[in-house]
Structure 1
């Protein structure tokens, strides 16, 4: 059996993200992860938040293998079978509805801009009344001079794919408000990232 893919950045940021999640959400619940990638995040969170049930998703079929192998190797019975999900293909279809948490890590800057609005609309429908959408990644902010490292990263993303790029918090907030979500918290994270917490308006 081939070894699943490994992401050094996911390995680094899974620790501070877990710490914030544990402070933000209840002791138990049902979470939907969008763009689960290698599965390192969802498996780490499932190990340390065992009273949560985790539904990983990915658009790429190859990534589903990574998630399933990693969850099986860790013996995690609170990680459900990974679903193939294209965020932009609406409406999302999955059971059960009424998630307590939708989690999206490092997706918005490596997806076309329309994925942001689709994420917000899909999350509004997937979340229960008290549920939270949490997004994590690099962002630009109005009135804040961008760090050179983020500017270089943004340029490299746009060179790779013109539809990619670091998003502004204000632009993401506009999409969220249009979908019925409000920004509840903005949290500084290591390596020039932000964790944004969205709740139903």
Structure 2
């Protein structure tokens, strides 16, 4: 999963030891944590795809201590940052960060079953076929009754609803024609085709949305 991103895309900065800091993660961590607390299972295992710096998973794990968190990322510097945040917060419910490219077929075999799978701010940075693979594999990796949460910016039934979204989507397409905002209509269909039951998208701050999809019990 290697894509050309615009120069305006968020890049984390080194701050202390192995830690990286992403301003966007600092801004949205509280809102995402509060939302997850409403939809996450009370206990079990949670896999985070493309965990980034570790700012998010350390906040989630502190707020939901009965879940065992499994962060992942393709970038070794970010995996080191994740482990540094977890160690600094003295969290005992977070596993060491692992390498995972969730756009490649077959990963569900080694990463399931999980009671929750979480993906934040990645779908607009990958192509359609990569997104379809990710969703299909996540559905396979979910335990029966498990929940998949997908957060980020989306177009809404073909419409980009803010000037900022129009500008950023155009920047993405200019940098790599294969990537762009995914649409709510398509997302619902892709999740349903993967065998999941999908809630209506949840409104989140800064014009983002959260999709919640559940794997039916047999």
Structure 2 length-normalised TM: 0.86
Match of residue 156, structure 2, among 126, 133, 141: 141
Cα 1:130/1:69, change in 2 over 3 Å: same
CA shift at 1:143, angstroms? 6.3
Distance in structure 2 (CA, Å) of the matches to 1:102 and 1:200: 11
Q: Is 1:119 the equivalent of 2:134? A: yes
Q: Is 1:86 the equivalent of 2:75? A: no
CA shift at 1:61, angstroms? 2.1
Aligned to 2:38: 23
Q: Is 1:58 the equivalent of 2:73? A: yes
Contact 1:136–1:196 under 8 Å retained in 2? yes
Deviation readout 1:27-58 (Å, 9 max, x if unpaired):
22210000001111111100111111100011
Distance in structure 2 (CA, Å) of the matches to 1:24 and 1:185: 13
Aligned to 2:89: 74
* Unmatched 5+ stretches in structure 1: none
Q: Quote the RMSD (CA, aligned, Å).
A: 1.7
Contact 1:58–1:86 under 8 Å retained in 2? yes
Aligned to 2:201: 186
CA shift at 1:10, angstroms? 0.7
Aligned to 2:5: none
* Unmatched 5+ stretches in structure 2: 1-15
Deviation readout 1:33-92 (Å, 9 max, x if unpaired):
000011111111001111111000112222111111111111111110111011122211
Contact 1:121–1:179 under 8 Å retained in 2? yes
Aligned to 2:178: 163
Distance in structure 1 (CA, Å) of the matches to 2:21 and 2:57: 13
Number of aligned residue pairs: give it. Answer: 200
* Secondary structure, aligned partner of 2:164: helix
Cα 1:33/1:168, change in 2 over 3 Å: same
Structure 1 length-normalised TM: 0.93
CA shift at 1:173, angstroms? 2.1
Distance in structure 2 (CA, Å) of the matches to 1:160 and 1:107: 16
